[in-house]
Amino acid sequence: MSHDMLMTQEETFAPVVGLYKFETTDEVIALANDCDVGLGSFICTESTPRMWQVAEALDVGMVGVNLGVLSACESPFGGVKESGYGREGGPHGIDEYLTVKSMLINVSTKESMG
């Protein structure tokens, strides 16, 4: 696969797998992040340190590791860049609809309790 192919620059919602041959982890991260979309990415590795390194470096909203799914009902769903703003699902999805109120109370003396 070459980096000038259309499927490397847009979100292809089809049963398609694009594979790059790469030499270094930094090289493949740069290839993955070099586009205007970022819904999700998949990582296949046996190395836990590499899993964390790559997952944290990918500029996407969701990462699937050693499996073919990116989301679950209890986890937030959404992308970055031109793939969307905000999240739906999970506790983060409801946050946009909530109003937070803070209240401070002095309870150090009897007089403060009235």
- The residue segments making up the domain with residue 87 are 6-113
Rounded distance between C-alpha atoms, residue 107 and residue 113, angstroms? 7
Residue 20 domain flag? yes
Residue 72 domain flag? yes
Residue 88 domain flag? yes
Residue 25 domain flag? yes
Residue 27 domain flag? yes
Residue 83 domain flag? yes
Provide the pLDDT confidence category of residue 114 given band limits of 50, 70 and 90: low
Structural domain total, the chain: 1
Per-residue pLDDT of 48-105, as tens digits, reads 999 999 999 999 999 999 998 988 888 889 999 999 888 888 887 777 778 888 888 8
Q: At what angle do helices 25-33 and 48-57 cross, to 10 degrees?
A: 30
CB 3 within 8 A of CB 31: yes
| Of 6, 59, 62, 12, residue with least CA distance to 33 | 59
Residue 58 domain flag? yes
